[in-house]
Chain A
Amino acid sequence: MGIVFHTVLFYLLAILACGFAVAVVLSNNIVRMAFYLVACLGAVAGLFFLAGADFVGALQLMIYVGGTLVLLIFGVMLTARGPLANIQTSRAQWAMVGLIGASLLAVLLYAATTAGKWTHSGQIVADRSHVSKPTATPIGLALLGVRADRLNAERTDAALGKGMAGYLLPFEIVSVHLVVVLIGAAYLARARRRATTPPMAATSGDSNNLDPGD
């Protein structure tokens, strides 16, 4: 009977995600689009939680829903002309997007139907109990180079040393990349001070001064 409950929730969240995804495409109003996208990504996060991947789910919430979209809406607010900017989509754009979307859907459908494990219904993936299971630890270990899922398979030290690099290298590359992006963004966005600043101290608040006397 647990299957029914799980399935109902799954379909509910899936329909929500798909519905809001379609709403994103159909809406003309850019802020509404962003809102629908939030709802869609939130529903996807719900799917992750349902599947027992709470780390990925929380990640989805934090990075996509909380971080990226807030910045997106922030950007829209700053740049949009008029209080509620509308976007008109031309027919050519519709056709192009339809083509790309359809081909992507085909690829995904193919992958989904041919993946071996998914086709025959076996055990339920997420048989959640009321006690939390360590879900983040294996991910963290893998990022540091210890593949917890392979630990049980090969327990010899040689094997541990050999094929166990995990994701340390990609992890480091990504972090260095992010640092570069951060510095670059800060460089681009910085205020370009002119060499000679006219004496406008009259209107400038000195907020650098930590200790205002006294």
Chain B
Amino acid sequence: MADFLAIWLPSWLALTLAALVHVTLILTLALTAAAAFTWAERKVAGRIQDRLGPTRVGGRFGWLQAVADGLKLVSKEDIIPRNADPLLFRTAPYVSFCASFCVYLALPFANGWVAQPLDIAVFFVLAVAGLEVLGVILGGYASGSKWSLFGAMREAAQVVSYEVPLALCAVIPVMVAGTMDLVAIGNMQAGWAWNWLIFHNPFLFITFFIYFTCAVASVNRAPFDLPEAESELVAGFLTEYSGFRWSVFFMAEYASMFAVSMLAAILFLGGWNGPLPITVWLGLAPNPATGYEPHALLAYFGNFLGMVNILIKATLGVLLMMWARWTLPRLRIDQVMTMCLKYCIPLAAVMFVGTMIYLYAFPVGLIFRSGGG
């Protein structure tokens, strides 16, 4: 985009404008996603619990509920406890939000539709996603409340532990793909659904479920929502937060839920490629068999379809998390750690070795063609 603008504008202005456009787009997506998921969460919870959820605000389905919630939160009194460290207390929510927002910088939405193409996108995403915990720890500690401190301690223990199996699970598709570039990984899975990495080999199939479990744990969703376990720790690290700052934490949570689901979609579920190669049939995507290259406008439309595709997949992931939240009881902290250290990490390691052996034994794939490039 910067190159495109640079035709008419001085390059510094072009760069700044391009960056602003990207940031605005991503920020809008993150905030819209958070708002939409707040509403969806209430609707899903309502349906699961045999009630209606929001019905009034904005007419049908209460679709403006998120806006009403937001207005309520913003207009609430801003409270900082006397024992709190005001600077850290104020900063912490933004640290969390920045971290979960920065993840989107490297997440592609379609072939080439990415704010900052990175060769090491997977690594970058994992590194930045892990930073969200910093805000939580700082917030919990700076609140000057013991419940918050407990929440922060749990968060630190849990998230730092779960990053290990999460990274291990993310490395396996990377190993199959031979690149950490998310755009390349996504493009590699074009075509029919069996080109998706989840169907590449049985080990990757299992890996997906380990990944998803660890992803749920690393974004603190039920049944792993221990840092804010409301029945034990009042509200954990959120105990002393209210109003706008609380909503920033809240948005960070939803943004990272969406981010890990999107990463799952790209790494395992074909990214922006649908189960059928429709875009190739319609001439909206390049066809490697015939060497066909679509016109820029058609490719743009194809990419748009791809974006819709990946957003649907990621939304399904988030809905799955909601379903789990409204069904399952919460684990205990030692059980959460046992789960990570005794089951997730060894299983992920076995899947890693298994995939390695599989790649070595069947370089072109056993049943379907190899996704390896």
Size of the chain A interface, CB-CB below 8 angstroms: 40
Please choose the segment from B7-15, B279-287, B298-306, B361-369 that sits at the chain A interface, where 4 or more of its residues have CB less than 8 A away. Answer: B7-15
Closest to B1 in A: A130
**Total A-B pairs in contact (CB under 8 Å)?**
117
Does any Cβ of A come within 8 Å of B153's Cβ?
yes
Q: Per-residue CB proximity of B137-150 to A under 8 Å, as 1/0?
A: 11001101000010
Does any Cβ of B come within 8 Å of A66's Cβ?
yes
Q: Per-residue CB proximity of A171-206 to B under 8 Å, as 1/0?
A: 000000000000000000000000000000000010
A62-B12 contact given A35-B91, A70-B134, A74-B137, CB 8 Å threshold: no
B339 to chain A, nearest CB (A): 9
A58-B144 contact given A69-B134, A130-B2, CB 8 Å threshold: no
Bound complex: CA A129 to CA B159 (Å)? 35
Does any Cβ of B come within 8 Å of A161's Cβ?
no
Q: Is A62 touching B123 in the complex (CB atoms < 8 A)? A: yes
Size of the chain B interface, CB-CB below 8 angstroms: 47
Residues of A within 8 A of B16 (CB): 5
A73-B141 contact given A65-B131, A130-B117, CB 8 Å threshold: yes
Does any Cβ of A come within 8 Å of B50's Cβ?
no
Residues of B within 8 A of A77 (CB): 137, 141, 149, 152-153, 156
Residues of B within 8 A of A38 (CB): 134
**Interface majority SS on A: helix, strand, loop or mixed?**
helix
A1-B11 contact given A32-B88, A77-B149, A132-B181, CB 8 Å threshold: yes
Listed from nearest, the 9 A-B pairs whose CB atoms lie closest are A62-B127, A132-B117, A5-B12, A66-B130, A61-B127, A74-B156, A132-B119, A58-B124, A58-B127
Q: B residues engaging A (CB < 8 A)?
A: 1-3, 10-12, 15-16, 83, 85, 87-88, 91, 117-121, 123-124, 126-128, 130-131, 133-134, 137-138, 141-142, 144, 149, 152-153, 156-157, 159-160, 163, 180-181, 183, 332, 334-335, 338
